[in-house]
C-alpha cells in the first residue's frame, strides 16, 4: 500500500464490524470523512483505495475522555502538547480526545476556553472536544457557563474536591454548582479526593522527613478518594443530577460507585489507563525519576490487586468509561519537586496505551468480549458526552473514525518506541496482546504499518449539545416522579409561644494572629413576630384536651385551640 493521506474514498473489505451491541461481517465504504455504505458487494466508484481487513475486527475509533495536553503548572506545560499527544492517541487507536481546559483559579472560563480551542485547532491531529474545569466559583460564572453550553459546544464541566486553597470547592459550592449545571443540562465531572485531609497528611508526612514520591501516595490514601466519591454522590443524589467521577484509581472508590448505582443515583466512573494497567508500588522505587513519573492524583493504588478489580467492574458495567488522564511531564519538570513531593507536577502517560491495555487486561483475560470493549473505549463515552452516534459507532452516516484491530498482535510497551515525548513510560515492559493495525481518522488513513501519517491541525473541534439523552432522559422522568414537594396543610400554629432570651453568639474568643481555620459567622436573627397569617375553623384534633407548658407568652389575638395537647 502506498502512503497517501488525502484519500477521500476508502473501502474496507472483509472485516468484522464490531459495535457495542453486536458484530457482523460486512464491507465499509467511506467518503468525505463519513461512513457512506455498509454491506456486502457494495457498489463503489472506480479507483477507490481498498483495504483488505482479512477477517480482522473493525471497530469504532477510541474516544479518550480525559486528557490534559495543555495543563499549566508553574508556568510550564506538559511535554505532550496537542500535536504530540494526539499523534500518540492515533498511534494507539484513539481517534478522538476530550481535553480538559484548566483555567487559572479566578480567571475567566471563556478566555481559557478560547485559548485551549486555539491551541488545539492549530495542533491537534485528531478530532477533539473540550471539558472545562471550574477552578473557582466566582460572580459571573453562571453567564459564562451558559455561553459555553449554548454557543460554544461545551457540555461537561469538572469540579474539584481536592487541592485545598487552590481549586477545591466546599460542599455548599458543590451543591450550588451541581444545581446550576443540572439546569444547563451539562455533565458534571468530579475530581474526588478530600483536599482538607490531604493537606493535613501532606504536612504530617513532610514533618516526618518523607519528601520523595512515596509521600505522594502516603498522603493520599485511597480512603480519602472513596470518601470524596461518597460525598459527591450524596450531593448529586440530593439534587437528582448525574455525576461522573473522573479517574477512579482505587478499589474502594470503585466499590462506592458500584454500591451507589445499585441504590439508584446516576453515577458514572472512569478508570484510566494507569489504574487499569499498573499499580502504585513504583512510588517506592529507588529510582527517583521513575517513582516521580507515576505521580498523579488520585494516586495509583499501592494495592497490586487494583487493576484486576477495576477491570472486573468495567466488564460488569459498574464502571463505564475509560480515559487516560494523559499529562506527562519530563523528568526535569518533575524534578521541581525533588525535595518536596507536593511540588511534583502531576500526570502520567496513557493516551497511546489505553486501548491496548484494556484489551490485554479485560478482553485477553476473558473478562469482557469485543463488543464490551467497544463500549468502554468508545461508545459509552460518546453516549454520555452526547457525540453518539456520530462517534462511537460504525453506522451509515457516522464519522469515518475506524480502527482495524489485530487481537493477536503482541506489543511490548516501552519508552523507547512510544510516541510521547516523556522519558519514562509507566507501563514500561508490559507485554500487551491486541493492537491497532490501521487507524482511520476522518476517512483518512493516519496509521498503517506502524507509521503515522498526520498533519498538524487536521483535527476538528466537535461541539457537543447539552442534555445528553443517555443521562437526562432518566433525570427528567425522576424530576417528574419526585414532583414538587408539598408541605402539610395544617394551618398555622397559634398556641402559646415561648419568648427566647437574647443570647450572645458563638465567636472565637480573642482572635489570634494565627487565626484558626474556623470561619464562624454569626447566624442571622429572624424576627419571629413578623407573621400575619391566621387560621380559623375546626381542626381535626379539636377534641383533644390541652395541657399548657410553663413560661408562656400570650399570643396576639388570644389562644386558639389548634394546638390541642395531649
Concatenated DSSP letters of 160-219: ES-STTTT---HHHHHHHHHHHHHHT-EEEEE---HHHHHHHHHHHHHTT--STHHHHHH
Distance CA 378, CA 395 (A): 14
382-421: contacts with other proteins (CB under 8 A): 415-416, 421
CB of 221 to other proteins, least distance (A): 7
Does 479 bind other proteins (CB under 8 A)? Our answer is no
Does 303 bind other proteins (CB under 8 A)? Our answer is no
Does 331 bind other proteins (CB under 8 A)? Our answer is yes
Strands 49-52 and 267-271: unpaired
Beta-bridged to residue 18, according to DSSP, are 23
Q: Which of 357, 244, 220, 195 is nearest to 295 (CA)?
A: 220
* Window of 148-156, 206-214, 449-457, 468-476 that interacts with other proteins by CB under 8 A: 206-214
Strands 444-448 and 431-441: antiparallel
Does 170 bind other proteins (CB under 8 A)? Our answer is yes
225-244: contacts with other proteins (CB under 8 A): 226-227, 230-231, 234-235, 237-238
Does 485 bind other proteins (CB under 8 A)? Our answer is yes
Does 561 bind other proteins (CB under 8 A)? Our answer is no
Contact 471, 187 (CB under 8 A): yes
CB of 423 to other proteins, least distance (A): 4
176-195: contacts with other proteins (CB under 8 A): 176, 194
Does 452 bind other proteins (CB under 8 A)? Our answer is no
Q: Which of 125, 132, 205, 267 binds other proteins (CB under 8 A)?
A: 205
CA 505 to chain centre: 42
Contact 332, 338 (CB under 8 A): no
Does 258 bind other proteins (CB under 8 A)? Our answer is no
CB of 353 to other proteins, least distance (A): 17
What are the C-alpha distances in Å from 255 to residues 5, 241, 301, 559? Answer: 45, 20, 14, 57
CB of 66 to other proteins, least distance (A): 24
* Window of 158-166, 364-372, 381-389, 390-398 that interacts with other proteins by CB under 8 A: 158-166
What are the C-alpha distances in Å from 174 to residues 14, 180, 188, 194, 265? Answer: 51, 10, 10, 13, 17
Distance CA 193, CA 177 (A): 17
524-553: contacts with other proteins (CB under 8 A): 526, 528, 531, 533, 539-541, 544, 547-553
* Window of 48-56, 400-408, 466-474, 489-497 that interacts with other proteins by CB under 8 A: 489-497
8-27: contacts with other proteins (CB under 8 A): none
CB of 271 to other proteins, least distance (A): 21
- Number of alpha carbons in the 13 Å side-chain half-sphere of residue 224: 24
24-53: contacts with other proteins (CB under 8 A): none
Does 497 bind other proteins (CB under 8 A)? Our answer is yes
Distance CA 314, CA 308 (A): 10
Amino acid at each position: 500500500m502506498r502512503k497517501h493521506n488525502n484519500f477521500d474514498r476508502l473501502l474496507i473489505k472483509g472485516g468484522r464490524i464490531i459495535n457495542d451491541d453486536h458484530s457482523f461481517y460486512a464491507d465499509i465504504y467511506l467518503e468525505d470523512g463519513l461512513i457512506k455504505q455498509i454491506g456486502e458487494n457494495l457498489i463503489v466508484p472506480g479507483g477507490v483505495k481498498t483495504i483488505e481487513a482479512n477477517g480482522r475486527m473493525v471497530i469504532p475509533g477510541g474516544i479518550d475522555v480525559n486528557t490534559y495536553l495543555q495543563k499549566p503548572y508553574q508556568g510550564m506545560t506538559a511535554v505532550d502538547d496537542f500535536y504530540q499527544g494526539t499523534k500518540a492517541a492515533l498511534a494507539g487507536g484513539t481517534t478522538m480526545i476530550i481535553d480538559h481546559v484548566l483555567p487559572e483559579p479566578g480567571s475567566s472560563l471563556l478566555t481559557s476556553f478560547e485559548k485551549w480551542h486555539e491551541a488545539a485547532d492549530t495542533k491537534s491531529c485528531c478530532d477533539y472536544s473540550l471539558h472545562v474545569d471550574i477552578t473557582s466559583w466566582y460572580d459571573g460564572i453562571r453567564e459564562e457557563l451558559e455561553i459555553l453550553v449554548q454557543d460554544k459546544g461545551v457540555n461537561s464541566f469538572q469540579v474539584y474536591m481536592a487541592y485545598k486553597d487552590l481549586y477545591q470547592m466546599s460542599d455548599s459550592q458543590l451543591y450550588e454548582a451541581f444545581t446550576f449545571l443540572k439546569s444547563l443540562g451539562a455533565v458534571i465531572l468530579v475530581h474526588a479526593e478530600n483536599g482538607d485531609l490531604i493537606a493535613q497528611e501532606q504536612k504530617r508526612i513532610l514533618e516526618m522527613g518523607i519528601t520523595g514520591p512515596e509521600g505522594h501516595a502516603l498522603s493520599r490514601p485511597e480512603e480519602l478518594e472513596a470518601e470524596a466519591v461518597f460525598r459527591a454522590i450524596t450531593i448529586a443524589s440530593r439534587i437528582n443530577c448525574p455525576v461522573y467521577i473522573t479517574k477512579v484509581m482505587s478499589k474502594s472508590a470503585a466499590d462506592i460507585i458500584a454500591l451507589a448505582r445499585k441504590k439508584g443515583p446516576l453515577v458514572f466512573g472512569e478508570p484510566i489507563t494507569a489504574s487499569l494497567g499498573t499499580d502504585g508500588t513504583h512510588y517506592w522505587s529507588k529510582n527517583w525519576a521513575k517513582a516521580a513519573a507515576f505521580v498523579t492524583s488520585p494516586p495509583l493504588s499501592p494495592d497490586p490487586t487494583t487493576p484486576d478489580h477495576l477491570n472486573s467492574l468495567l466488564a460488569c458495567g459498574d464502571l463505564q468509561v475509560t480515559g487516560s488522564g494523559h499529562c506527562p511531564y519530563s523528568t526535569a519538570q518533575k524534578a521541581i519537586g525533588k525535595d518536596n513531593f507536593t511540588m511534583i507536577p502531576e500526570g502520567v502517560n496513557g493516551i497511546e496505551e489505553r486501548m491496548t491495555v484494556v484489551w490485554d487486561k479485560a478482553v485477553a483475560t476473558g473478562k469482557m468480549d469485543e463488543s464490551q470493549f467497544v463500549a468502554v473505549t468508545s461508545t459509552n463515552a460518546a453516549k454520555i458526552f452526547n457525540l453518539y452516534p456520530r462517534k462511537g459507532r460504525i453506522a451509515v452516516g457516522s464519522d469515518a473514525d475506524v480502527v482495524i484491530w489485530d487481537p493477536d498482535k503482541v506489543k511490548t510497551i516501552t519508552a523507547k518506541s512510544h510516541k510521547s515525548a516523556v522519558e519514562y513510560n509507566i507501563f514500561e515492559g508490559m507485554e500487551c496482546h491486541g493492537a491497532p493495525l490501521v487507524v482511520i481518522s476522518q476517512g483518512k488513513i493516519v496509521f498503517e504499518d506502524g507509521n503515522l501519517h498526520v498533519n498538524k491541525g487536521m483535527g476538528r473541534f466537535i461541539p457537543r449539545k447539552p442534555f445528553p439523552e443517555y443521562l437526562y432522559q432518566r433525570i427528567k422522568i425522576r424530576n417528574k416522579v419526585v414532583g414538587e414537594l408539598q408541605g402539610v396543610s395544617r394551618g398555622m400554629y397559634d398556641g402559646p409561644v415561648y419568648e427566647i432570651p437574647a443570647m450572645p453568639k458563638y465567636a472565637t474568643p480573642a482572635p489570634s494572629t494565627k487565626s484558626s481555620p474556623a470561619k464562624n459567622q454569626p447566624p442571622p436573627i429572624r424576627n419571629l413576630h413578623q407573621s400575619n397569617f391566621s387560621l380559623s375553623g375546626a381542626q381535626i384534633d379539636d377534641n383533644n384536651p390541652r395541657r399548657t407548658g410553663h413560661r408562656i407568652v400570650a399570643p396576639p389575638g388570644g389562644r386558639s385551640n389548634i394546638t390541642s395537647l395531649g
